[in-house]
Structures are given as structure tokens and as C-alpha cells.
Amino acid sequence: MIATACLIALAAISLALLLNLYRLAVGPHALDRVLALDTMVINAIGLIVVLGIWFGVTIFFEAALLFAMVGFLSTVAFCKYLLRGNVIE
Amino acid sequence: MTAWIVDVGVTVLLLTGSFFLLVGSFGLAKLPDMMRRLHAPTKATTLGIGALLIASMAYFTFSLGIPSFHELLITVFLFITAPVTAHMIAKAHLLRDPELRPRLPDVQANGGWATLGRSPQDTQRGGP
Amino acid sequence: MGMRLLPQPVLTLVIAAVWMALANSVSLGNAVLGLALGLAVPLLTQAYWPDRPRFRNPWRIADFALVVLWDIIVSNIQVARLILFRRGDSLRSQFVRVPLDLTNAEAITILAGTITMTPGTVSADLSADGTAILVHCLETDDPEATVTAIKQRYERRLMEIFA
């Protein structure tokens, strides 16, 4: 039962990633793309977690944590750049 | 007997989590303007990820017998950082879209809104 | 003496818990190591955080966290319904100004984060002098009701927690 649920979850998250890709491609502003990237990172974390359940391996946890941290930092850096024209002042 | 309950719980959590992730991304693709789009991912995705991580925690601890609670760390991290990214994106959007400024409420404070102008007049007129 | 060795007892416990979660085991060795870090980090960093917040009533944090968690779940279902069953143009969204009674910077940060995570609202900006938050509502008929809800539900509880 869990295996089927994993498959459905993987399909749903992949569809979500495609929708994010659509927003990333269409825009229209730079900030829409930043938001799409941020959502994509969160969806990627979900994908990693579901894959961890699917394979029965806990080792993916570190990858998910790193994704969360790098995604947060990159979004904030993008926004800071768009706000101030500079990342580190 | 208990294994059966854990299986059902993990299945339900997996389906809810992926459903909310999908709804968040659907809202991002569907809603017409930037400020409305901001609502969908920040809310739906945090609960989606939270449900998936609880499912992972329950599965490893009860089904495989590997005690695991470090998933809580990602949940807490995302619950702290998601509002911060949303706030930064909203600020950058306020600064870069002059059409929004007439729709802002009066600030009623010295210095105006932090992202925009020095005075309330600046906020109304269109910022620096 | 107690205050000098243990400047932030809550932070000490949080660091120890995060350490044990990172190691993913609750053993005596990890608890000791986590507590050692939890004692050392606040002592070594207190010089860089001069006017840190003081808790008046730390036990109210649990009450606040439960209220916020419940609201997060409710808000997710609400927003999901709005996204799925309403046309994007028909959502009556608007900006609202929420006046603040809190003065503590950390408390205002937590309030802004809470507003973003809860029903149909995103905090968008702060006034330059920190006396008001700009909030964007996804769907609202009555901005006044939203403001009173935020102040009654979250700000009142935060004022009880922070001195």
C-alpha cells in the first residue's frame, strides 16, 4: 500500500515541478521566476523525502536538509539583489 | 495489527502531502498577479512538506524499526524560513512595481513603509 | 550567578535538542555533548547580542505554538479551496495596515512570520519606524475583522510571552 502511495506521490510532485517549470519559463517578471525557483526547491525536497521512503534509506535526509538551506539562501540572495542591487553591502 | 494502522497512516500522510504540494504549484501557475501568487506556495507547500516528513518519520520508526526524528529539523527549518522568503519577495515586488503604490493603505507613521519612501508623500507618489 | 552562566536557558535547551536531532539519537553521550554546546554557544555569543529579548512567560510558547499550528492546518485547507474552486480574478485581495503594540524586534519578526503562515494573509512590509505591518489578504470582505483577529489571536499571546 505504501509503495502505491509513493508512486502516486512521486507522480503528483513531478506534475507540481512541471507547473513550476511553466511559471519559471513564462515569468513575466524576475520575481515570478524567483518564486518559481523557491517552490521548485521545496518540491525537490518533497521528492527526496518520498524517494527515501520508497528505497527505505535514511541517508537522503542530509541531501534534503542541504537543499532546504541552499534554497533559502539563494532565494534571499536573489531578493536582496533585486531590492538593493547588491547581495553583500 | 499495529503495522496495518501505521501503513494506513503513512499512506494518508503521503497522499495529503503530495496533494498540498500540487495545489501550491497549481496556484503558482494559475493565479493572475504576483501578490496573489505569493499566497499559494508559501502556505500549501509548508504543510505538504510537513505531512511528507511526518510520514517519513512514522515509516522509519514504526515500520522499519529505525528510530528517526531528524526530519523534524527540516520541518522546523522550513516553517521558519518560508515566511522570510515570502516577506523578501513581497518587499522586492513592492519596490519594483510602481502600479502597486496607489493601492497601499496610508502608513500613518514617520518614514513611510520601510521598502519605499522616507515620507508618506513618497509612498503615495511612487518612491525614490 | 545563574544569569551569568546561563544567559538564555531556552536557547540552551533548543541547541541541545537540535544537536540530538542532527545526530538522530537520544543517547546520554549526545545529550551531554548537546548540553555542552548549549552552554557554550550562548556564553560565547552574548557579547554580540546586547539587547536580546527576555521571556516573561516562556511556558506560554507552547500555547502559542499550538494555536499557530492549528491555524496553519486550517489556513492550508482554506487556501487550497480558494485556489481550486475560484477564478483567480474573482478573489477580493487587498492590502491592509495592521498597527502594532509590540515594540520588541524579535517579537515583531515572529508576528510577521505567523501572519504569513496563517489564513489568507502575507506580511509584505514593515513601516520604517516599526509601528505597523503591511499585510496582503488573499480574500477578504472585512479588513477590520482581519486586523482584530491578528491582534487578538497572535499579538496578545506574543505580548504575554515577551517582557
Tell me how far the alpha carbon of residue C152 is from its chain's centroid: 15
**Chain B environment of C74 (Cβ under 8 Å):** none
Question: For residue A89, is it within any domain?
Answer: no
Residue A17's domain comprises 2-84
B68–chain C nearest CA distance, Å: 6
For residue C22, pLDDT over 90 is answered with: no
Alpha carbon distances (Å) from C82 to B26, B126, C78, C92, C149: 12, 32, 6, 11, 20
Question: For residue A7, is it within any domain?
Answer: yes
For residue B41, pLDDT over 90 is answered with: no
pLDDT (tens digit per residue) in C85-103: 888 777 788 888 888 888 8
**Chain B environment of A53 (Cβ under 8 Å):** 10, 14, 55-56, 59
Question: For residue A46, is it within any domain?
Answer: yes
Q: What are the structural domain ranges in chain B?
A: 2-96, 103-128
B7–chain C nearest CA distance, Å: 22
Best mutation site among B43, B85, B96 for testing chain A: the one with the most A CBs within 10 Å?
A: B85
Tell me the average pLDDT of chain C: 83
Question: For residue C25, is it within any domain?
Answer: yes
| Rounded CA separation B43/B58 (Å) | 23
Tell me the average pLDDT of chain A: 88
Q: Residue C4: exposed, middle, or buried by beta-carbon count in 10 A (0-12, 13-18, 19+)?
A: exposed
Number of domains in chain C: 2
pLDDT (tens digit per residue) in B52-74: 999 988 888 888 887 788 888 88
Cβ–Cβ below 8 Å for C116 and B109: no
- Tell me if chain C has a CB within 8 Å of the CB of B75: no
For residue C13, pLDDT over 50 is answered with: yes
Q: Tell me the sheet residues that pair with C135.
A: C96, C123
Select the highest-mean-pLDDT range: A25-29, B86-90, C50-54, C120-124: B86-90
Q: Residue A89: exposed, middle, or buried by beta-carbon count in 10 A (0-12, 13-18, 19+)?
A: exposed
Question: For residue C102, is it within any domain?
Answer: yes
Nearest-by-Cβ selection for A65 from B7, B64, B73: B73
- Tell me if chain C has a CB within 8 Å of the CB of B31: yes
Cβ–Cβ below 8 Å for A31 and B7: no
| Rounded CA separation B81/A41 (Å) | 13
Cβ–Cβ below 8 Å for C97 and B82: no
Question: For residue C142, is it within any domain?
Answer: yes
Percent helix, strand and coil across chain A, each rounded to 5? 85, 0, 15
Number of domains in chain A: 1
Question: For residue C40, is it within any domain?
Answer: yes
Nearest CA in chain B to A61: B71
Interface B:C, Cβ pairs < 8 A: 134
> Do C124 and C152 belong to one domain?
yes
pLDDT for position A16: 93
> Do C44 and C7 belong to one domain?
yes
Q: What is the DSSP string of C114-150?
A: HHHHSTTEEEEEEBTTSSEEEEEESS-S-HHHHHHHH
| Rounded CA separation C158/B46 (Å) | 22
Cell of C17: 535538542
> Do C128 and C89 belong to one domain?
yes
B84–chain A nearest CA distance, Å: 8
- Tell me if chain C has a CB within 8 Å of the CB of B16: no
B77–chain A nearest CA distance, Å: 8
Question: For residue C54, is it within any domain?
Answer: no
> Do C79 and C127 belong to one domain?
yes
Question: For residue C53, is it within any domain?
Answer: no
Helix intervals (H) in B31-119: 34-58, 71-96
Residue C155's domain comprises 60-161
CATH number at residue A24: 1.10.287
> Do C75 and C16 belong to one domain?
no
Question: pLDDT band at A47, cuts 50/70/90?
Answer: very high
CA atoms within 13 A on the CB side of B93: 26
